Homo-oligomer: A and B are copies of this chain.
Amino acid sequence: PKSGMNGNGPSKLVDPLEDPLPGVGTYEDFNTIDWVREKSKDRDRHREITNKSRQSTVALLHSVSDAFSGWLLMLLVGLMSGALAGGIDIAAHWLTDMKGGVCLIGFWFNHEHCCWKSNEATFQDRDRCPQWQSWAELITGTSEGAFAYIVNYLMYIFWALLFSFLAVTLVRAFAPYACGSGIPEIKTILSGFIIRGYLGKWTLIIKTITLVLAVSSGLSLGKEGPLVHVACCCANILCHLFTKYRKNEAKRREVLSAAAAVGVSVAFGAPIGGVLFSLEEVSYYFPLKTLWRSFFAALVAAFTLRSINPFGNSRLVLFYVEFHAPWHLVELAPFVLLGIFGGLWGALFIRANIAWCRRRKTTRLGHYPVIEVLVVAALTALLAYPNSYTRMSGAELISELFNDCSLLDSSQLCGYKQVSVGNSLADRPAGAGLYTALWQLALALVFKMMITVITFGMKVPSGLFIPSMAVGAIAGRLLGVGMEQLAYYNHDSFIFKGWCSPGADCITPGLYAMVGAAACLGGVTRMTVSLVVIMFELTGGLEYIVPLMAATMTSKWVADAFGREGIYEAHIRLNGYPFLEPKEEFEHSSLTVDVMRPKRSDPALAVLTQEGMTVGQVEALVESTHYSGFPVVVSQESQRLVGFVLRRDLLISIDNARKRQEGVVSASQVVFTEHAPSVAADAPPPLRLRGIMDLSPFTVTDHTPMDITVDIFRKLGLRQCLVTHNGLKQNTVKPLNYIHQNFPLPLCLKSAPSTKPPPAPPRPTSHTRSSRLSGCYMCVCDEKRTTLVC
């Protein structure tokens, strides 16, 4: 402990609490950790190991293994997440195909695998073989006609309902935390909050299973976001293997940051993009060491996934794209248009989704999650089946939309009229097939936009990446084909003249789809660099970065104009998690003194004195308040600050002393000084608690601007900060008696552990509404260094 370091001679007493009690220094559920204390603990531990390592070979080996345990952990996280992601991919592929039919060779084969096994499929028509039968074929014996269509339709709906019912029931029964995308909660956890069980083994198991079911049920959701949650669960569970990470909340969060990178890495096959995603979007504390380790873990995971080869093509990336034609500067205009569309869609989606989720929270709708999921699944299946673009899975749809039409392509989207042979990839006029496809795509766009709003936030695992990208990809492809046709029929107009001569391949609709996907995803999540890098890793060509960047930038600006929060921040706020947004600037010019000024009706400050209080008095003080900690002052008269004691540590220590230490009764003195005070001979022995006192609480003066205070909270990861007032002459200003109980600190007011998420924070009072300091503790010491409200 910090206090034991400056021994000042023989008068010092041995502190009975030198060895920390079990529980002292740990946190309750739904509390914020103290980053400074955790990091300090880790440094002490490291120092001890280093010092010991000079003494013996065993200790040296221990020191080396300790140094490499981080890398080993990263390796394990990468391997486990990669393997799980591969398993999820394979299972989801199989179950998705199951909705359409079954393999006669063995029901455990998916469509492609089945035909591959049968050896009867030609290379071109890999998807058609007699061994794979649709449900209609199996039941009615024919795959033609209206009846067969209806049988297939009904079987599709049946499977969708079954899968979604299983998913929501499993989530409700075993792991309520497994629902949603998990990214808002992981952001909160990484910022230092504790939600026990959120990253536990049950969540992992149930999330993995239900994710497969939810994706297969055809709901408009993706598995990419939840994969981040899955990777974080893996990391959290594996942390238990290493003392260094098990016991230290700050170190564990470093591992979780890396795991977030792993999640995106396996989701898209983009390790660098994953690391940047973790850095930009989810992490709070991201030292360089973590950057390096995240990168390592992300790579391991990507290669594990590749060696499992769930897509059967040995590609690392989810959507492999290869474009043949460069883009022209003029095309930046449609790209920016796509950016505007993406931004508008993002802003609209966030508003609509949050409104819907709030309705779910506040009305009776929220009481029937199973029925809600079933209704939405039925609706989705009912509307999606007739349209081939909504019937296929989101990832397949995107893959098809990104695709650049070659001459051999049989897809409807490539239904161009054949013109004279020249450049085989030249722009061609649209044929009937393409027109049908465009109509279907337009309908699919409207459908996807609607259904995603009510799907995201249901009680099943649901990611937002794929649906958002699908919306953007459809819009982009539509615009791309439009541009292509415009260029084909107007080669001579001033816009196209000079760069798009007849017979040239000048417009690539697939690129437009890609740009649109990036724009929409950017509008919803407000990712920027990481999004562009993920897309770059998909194409591998630096040339296409500029269109992507233009669209993403526009999208972010447009969306920000309607509200600065991305979907994850909005969900964090909706759920009332304490989260101090690291990106946001504090906008008001108030000083700390303005924010912390007490109301007249507030009670007096709750402080402990370093000596003179009895155990009974301390207990009474703790009982009568719900603050999470108490400043220790010299005396009630001279309220100079000595240190800070956390409520939890205080309660544990007194409890323990009453049980174990002889003679500690309510009348015993509580002593925080280094040297025991002189007590009367017949008095009970004092209880010394200096060991649990933080001798170096953070303080700011009351004249510190609030923006600096908020900055200190963010950058150092503080749990509390004391505000001191001093130096001004007492007679020139009226004495301030700061106390401010309504400061928006939902957790500050928490005293008992609970197993449910905390309620939404109380509305802050007018002058603090904008401070957004939720989750951080703040105390004030007034002129006489009296404390305050914690």
Contacts and interface: CB of A to CB of B under 8 A. Distances in A.
A707 interface: yes
Interface stretch (A343-351, A501-509, A534-542): A534-542
A316 B545 CA distance: 13
Contacts of A289: 583
B587 A47 contact: yes
Interface string A523-534: 000001100110
Given A540-B540, A696-B701, A711-B39, A5 B589 contact: yes
A228 interface: no
A546 interface: yes
Contact of A529 (B291, B553, B589): B291
Contact of A726 (B295, B296, B640): B640
A542 B549 contact: no
Interface string A257-276: 00000000000010110010
Given A272-B272, A727-B634, A43 B585 contact: yes
Interface string A318-337: 00000000000000000000
A532 B640 contact: no
Nearest to A316: B542
Interface stretch (A102-110, A383-391, A484-492, A728-736): A728-736
A272 B47 contact: no
Contacts of A295: 529, 532, 549
A726 B542 contact: no
Contact of A302 (B8, B542, B583, B589): B542
Contacts of A219: none
Contacts of A698: 700
A700 B696 contact: yes
Given A727-B634, A729-B634, A2 B39 contact: no
B591 A673 contact: no
A712 interface: yes
Identical chains in the assembly:
2
Contacts of A536: 272
Contact of A2 (B528, B541, B632, B703): B703
A766 interface: no
Contacts of A541: 540
Contacts of A275: 529
A162 interface: no
A67 to B, nearest CB: 10
A36 interface: yes
A36 B536 CA distance: 37
A564 interface: no
Given A292-B528, A295-B529, A640-B727, A593 B540 contact: no
Given A271-B542, A589-B5, A727-B640, A704 B696 contact: yes
A529 B728 CA distance: 51
Contacts of A24: none
A70 B349 CA distance: 29
A587 B51 CA distance: 11
Interface in A629-651: 632-634, 640-643
B589 A47 contact: yes
23 contacts: A5-B591, A6-B591, A8-B733, A47-B589, A50-B587, A272-B533, A275-B529, A280-B288, A291-B529, A292-B528, A296-B553, A299-B545, A537-B542, A540-B540, A632-B727, A642-B728, A673-B728, A674-B732, A674-B733, A695-B704, A698-B700, A699-B701, A712-B716
Interface of A: 2-3, 5-6, 8, 36, 39-40, 43-44, 46-47, 50, 269, 271-272, 275, 279-280, 287-289, 291-292, 295-296, 299, 302-303, 316, 528-529, 532-533, 536-537, 540-542, 545-546, 549, 553, 582-583, 585-587, 589, 591, 593-594, 610, 632-634, 640-643, 673-675, 695-701, 703-705, 707-708, 711-712, 715-716, 726-729, 732-733
Given A295-B532, A296-B549, A696-B703, 4 more contacts: A299-B545, A633-B727, A673-B732, A696-B708
